[in-house]
Structure 1
């Protein structure tokens, strides 16, 4: 039993560290799970860790690899049809032995990413070969991880990539030569940190991205860095500044689209779309329409979606942002009418597919069409499961469940519990 107690304490420490890294209180986590604060307190002190159902909910809420809480072994022991109020002792102890096997530590990995963003001399390079071509290929792979919503792998990849890029830039004696790639790596880190709701670290990453963009002197790199800076500003409720930043940058970069490279057009288009999001969130219809109009013009010169680092911009993505803007202004009916053609269109980027169906779910919910909203949520989950667990989506689900007073949609309530949404 001493072994079981030790394992319970280890699990409690994993939960505590994950919560602290996200700067969340026990009360906040408990409220998100629908429990009293004492439940989280007991878990972190090594008590109650035999309840698999609770551990699964905690793992989802804090983004902890279930394997680190002994859940993989528990699933095998209990089987799929045992809702599992308890964990077999043998599986519980086996999970303790599993920590001896090198595995991704979510808390440590996040800390490593934040350290890679800090100023000062970079840590020792992790890779031997730091050729420009090798780094370019690794950067492209990192961008694809973001588009396919493999955030766990991306978080492990970025610290090493950023460190190697910094070493290569310093060793080459010409930082400007690698500044575009460094800026892109920092932009990717910003987007990931915003997905993780780490606003403070996202500010840090966005600042590094902007500095490298200015050092590079490359217009498309500047546009991309402005895009993530705008995202951080808007997330921090500085929407007026976000809109002005996009407007100011656009006046310098728009025009002559027939003579621009695909990379330039994509970076500019994505920046304008970020302006659409910021302006509609502020309720500024004039700025929203201006940014949308310019983005549609840019999209005329972009051939099609491509599975590379710039695959996120084309006419389809402009249409997706128009749907979001209509919803931001409270126009659920027009938003659904704009979304319906997109539902039959091929959207190769999983994050964008999920965004479409999440916006559809929001629109259906506002019209009281809960069954259709639930169906849209399930489709979004098949596109990008991690995106469906964001706080904004959880709030939507909680609202839909509260309005289904007659419990006519048992699947919706099960879905809500699976997301850990408070009852």
Structure 2
């Protein structure tokens, strides 16, 4: 597959005439607009630094990508009143400092008056809006299966432990091949059959382990769908079954998804602490551990990388990465299986993701280039590579390359590209293409249900 990056030759984007844009604004007015925008951006940056918040953290709290906060601090995109008011509330900035009208109650604010106030300094624009996903019957069935009580009816399939183990493995493969639609259909019946089987006295520990793995898969799927509320329900059940199984590997995997939920809910410090505490009890003596054990520990450490980088903690990120690389010396499993998706390649992918989280887009693209030439057999990981590359391109303002990277991710895993996080990325890039020099990007954004 041909690479998208260009080392020496910059991208040449089509230019639109600036005459029409400036027809109603003289040079003095344009200078005033840019000066005010830079002042607002600096006010946002100072408030964020004062509160020791990272761009990533603030963006996540508001439901945006980090690049949006970065652009605001650079004086770009400051014409969007809704974004400014949201960030003022998040960082406790007096509205007047951002050129907003002071209001005692947000519900009593006069949007039209505020818009006129802002137009004194800034031009109008359109904010990117993502269409929320509509709950499906399959989603409702999955949530119902997670609730206490009898749960859904079992499928009538054999409840033999061997058969159930194969079905759990098949469910995990559906996740890593990004067939989320089929997975959502399969999980409720699988959970029902496992719960029925685990109510007996035969193989109770093994069945608890399988049920914990199924709940872990449910948690991961719900997080892909940005359904954090029900993800908490699923991970609680995963932890309970993992403890019943008495298997440290299953418990480590349940802790990993619990840390994922914590990090997604902005409890990154707690997520890092949880991963570190659990990993301290499992790391070491790698030459005497089974591949399954090592993969579980390695994946747990990689979750620590994600949580720490999301918190802006470079030291913790480097510690988790170093330990994960050490584990990867002893095991390399690149298969779409419950335990077999840990390898040096997966470690490198998480290192790339961390660089993007820190805003180190140049280093991120350097890390991505050798991975683009590497065979990555797991579709979910292949898609992750190109999505992270798209984020890095976007951070550099290379919207055309970012768009192409997302389209390559789509060829790897079409359903993965339609999850909310990627839709938001595409909408964000489209919103930044104000001259609409990339009509294919805007068309793709509309296809994803996230028009800008």
Q: Structure 2 length as normaliser, TM-score?
A: 0.69
Pair 1:188-2:220 in alignment = no
Q: Taking structure 1 as reference, are residues 311 and 412 closer, same or farther at Cα in structure 2, changes over 3 Å only?
A: same
Distance in structure 1 (CA, Å) of the matches to 2:210 and 2:405: 37
1:116-141 per-residue CA deviation (whole Å, 9 max, x = no partner) reads: 11223444432241101100111111
Distance in structure 1 (CA, Å) of the matches to 2:251 and 2:302: 15
Farther off after superposition, 370-379 or 108-117: 108-117
- Decide whether the 8 Å contact of 2:152 with 2:188 is kept in 1: no
Counterparts of 1:339-378 in structure 2, within 5 Å, are 339-378=368-407
Counterparts of 1:27-46 in structure 2, within 5 Å, are none
Task: State the SS of the aligned residue for 1:171.
Answer: coil
Pair 1:138-2:156 in alignment = no
Counterparts of 1:260-299 in structure 2, within 5 Å, are 260-299=289-328
Q: Following TM superposition, by how much is the alpha carbon of 1:411 offset from its aligned partner in structure 2, in angstroms?
A: 1.4
Match of 1:27 in 2: none
Q: Paired residue for 2:207, among 162, 166, 178?
A: 178
Q: Paired residue for 1:412, among 437, 441, 446?
A: 441
- Decide whether the 8 Å contact of 2:153 with 2:189 is kept in 1: no
Higher helix share: 1
Match of 2:364 in 1: 335
Distance in structure 2 (CA, Å) of the matches to 1:313 and 1:152: 24
Pair 1:164-2:193 in alignment = yes
Pair 1:325-2:354 in alignment = yes
Q: Give structure 1 stretches of 5+ with no counterpart.
A: 1-30, 32-59, 65-105
Q: Following TM superposition, by how much is the alpha carbon of 1:173 offset from its aligned partner in structure 2, in angstroms?
A: 5.0
Q: Paired residue for 2:156, among 127, 131, 134?
A: 127
Larger radius of gyration: 2
1:113-169 per-residue CA deviation (whole Å, 9 max, x = no partner) reads: 112112234444322411011001111111101011111111111111111111111
Q: Give structure 2 stretches of 5+ with no counterpart.
A: 1-81, 83-129
Aligned length: 325
Match of 1:302 in 2: 331
- Decide whether the 8 Å contact of 1:311 with 1:349 is kept in 2: no
1:361-397 per-residue CA deviation (whole Å, 9 max, x = no partner) reads: 1111111222211110110111112222233322322
Farther off after superposition, 411-420 or 313-322: 411-420
